[in-house]
Amino acid sequence: MKILVSALEHSANIHLKSLKKELSDSVEFIGIFDRELGESIIDLRSLAIMGFVDAIKKLRFFLKLNNQMVKLAKDADKVLLIDSSGFNLPLAKKIKKKYPDKEIIYYILPQAWAWKKKRIQVLEKTIDRLASILPFEKGYYSKNAPIEYVGHPLLDQIKEFKGSLNDEKKSIVFMPGSRKAEIKKLLPVFKNVQKKLDIEAIIIIPKHFSEEEIKEVYGSLSDFKIAYDAHKTLFEADFAFICSGTATLEASLIGIPFVLTYIAKPLDYFIASRLVKLEYIGLANIMFSKFKNRALHPEFIQEEVTAENLIKAYQEYDRSRFLSDSKALREYLVHGSSKKVAAIIEEKDEN
């Protein structure tokens, strides 16, 4: 079976690797994905963007790539789209128009419930199987929508849970993100926090960064221990300061108390604040508030991201409540999703 895969994000490919392990050897990937999984048509590093402004600058490039994927769809038995709605939803519409009988599976759905709710109608008309990773998501779709909750993919990778916390905080993890622009914005604040706290500091650097990129983006890291394995490092540490993104949900499921920080480009933040009507930006907070009506962890955004605010949050943190809430979130999400999605992909077409 040949599957056209569109997985542009680093986090999407982590989940794709777990999914690949559950698929039979006869399944072959074509399209866009990490080259560890096969012959991708492009190097994922060339796709890294941050915000609306960067996306506009690369519009022509992505249109060309989109058309290339449509051509590849001809030889695919099925299509698997993962996250990245800005690219994948237009791609789905083009494929469905050209090949109406081609089954399209969408895994890690666009957060249409948060913004652009009209996209839900487009998803229902265009996608044959909607694999949701959020328990509450199905409630936003129509009764007959082809959507099902398959579990959360992070629970395929995160098996260990801290369960208890050290009375004395001995080490702090700093995760300024995986994109160069976001790292450069947060790192000066994180370095300031590190200087003011007399405690072991560990910084997690994305594995795909070269030595030259590390020097260019991070500058001097003499005051930090460097780590590359996020899950192991978070599990062993006592506290973390983390850029908004998948890492915040990972930390929540591991059970390490942390503070979310996020600094966007002013124009990107202005646009997003007008489009997205959410009380929280962290996915763990969004999910946790659905059944507890409150936040799981603190969030600091834009001008709020100061060393003083982060240190105050660190000193006043209710770590015991966080650990209890973190356990409740794991129970809410139930299980991983790889086995379920693999079954959907390999399910024989009855037509």
Q: Which pLDDT does position 276 carry in this prediction?
A: 63
Q: Whose structure tokens read 């260019």?
A: 216
Convert the pLDDT of each residue in 202-217 to its tens digit.
999 998 889 999 999 9
Find the largest Cα–Cα distance for the chain: 65
Is residue 284 within 8 Å of residue 248, measured between CB atoms? yes
Shared-domain flag, residues 183 and 56: no
Q: Kindly state the average pLDDT of the residues 86-103.
A: 96
The residue among 46 and 72 whose pLDDT is bigger is 72
Domain range for 34: 2-153+336-346
277 within domain boundaries:
yes
Q: For residue 303, which amino acid is it?
A: E
161 within domain boundaries:
no
Residue 240 sits in a domain whose CATH number is: 3.40.50.2000
Query: With bands split at pLDDT 50, 70 and 90, how would you rate the model's confidence at 81?
Result: very high
Q: Which pLDDT does position 350 carry in this prediction?
A: 41
Q: Kindly state the average pLDDT of the residues 291-295.
A: 93
Q: Which pLDDT does position 198 carry in this prediction?
A: 84
Shared-domain flag, residues 302 and 241: yes
310 within domain boundaries:
yes
Shared-domain flag, residues 97 and 206: no
Average pLDDT value for the chain: 91
Q: Which pLDDT does position 179 carry in this prediction?
A: 87
166 within domain boundaries:
no
Shared-domain flag, residues 144 and 245: no
351 within domain boundaries:
no
Shared-domain flag, residues 203 and 119: no
Q: Which pLDDT does position 239 carry in this prediction?
A: 97
Q: Which pLDDT does position 186 carry in this prediction?
A: 96
Number of domains in the chain: 2
Q: How far is CA 138 from CA 103, 147, 203, 226, 292, in A?
A: 20, 7, 37, 41, 19
Shared-domain flag, residues 250 and 132: no
The residue among 58 and 266 whose pLDDT is bigger is 58
- Which residues, in sequence order, are CB contacts of 156 under 8 Å at separation 6+? 15, 18, 336, 337, 338
Examine the pLDDT at 351 and tell me if it is beyond 50.
no
Residue 79: in which H helix or E strand, if any?
Answer: strand 78-82
Q: Which pLDDT does position 246 carry in this prediction?
A: 87
145 within domain boundaries:
yes
Shared-domain flag, residues 88 and 48: yes
Q: Kindly state the average pLDDT of the residues 71-77.
A: 96
158 within domain boundaries:
no
Shared-domain flag, residues 310 and 264: yes
Shared-domain flag, residues 233 and 304: yes
3-state secondary structure of 31: strand
Find the range with the poorest average confidence among 6-20, 65-79, 103-117, 297-311: 103-117
Q: Which pLDDT does position 270 carry in this prediction?
A: 60
Q: Which pLDDT does position 266 carry in this prediction?
A: 65
Q: Kindly state the average pLDDT of the residues 171-177.
A: 96
* CA 339/CA 317 separation, integer angstroms: 37
Query: With bands split at pLDDT 50, 70 and 90, how would you rate the model's confidence at 268?
Result: low
Find the range with the poorest average confidence among 98-102, 239-243, 264-268: 264-268
Q: Which pLDDT does position 197 carry in this prediction?
A: 94
Shared-domain flag, residues 73 and 118: yes
Convert the pLDDT of each residue in 106-137 to its tens digit.
999 988 776 667 889 999 999 999 999 999 99
Q: Which pLDDT does position 324 carry in this prediction?
A: 97
163 within domain boundaries:
no
Shared-domain flag, residues 208 and 140: no
Is residue 263 within 8 Å of residue 182, measured between CB atoms? yes
Q: Which pLDDT does position 148 carry in this prediction?
A: 96
Nearest CA among 129, 12, 127, 6 for reference residue 68:
6
* Helix 307-316 × helix 180-196 angle, to 10°: 60
Shared-domain flag, residues 314 and 340: no
Query: With bands split at pLDDT 50, 70 and 90, how would you rate the model's confidence at 323?
Result: very high
* CA 80/CA 101 separation, integer angstroms: 14
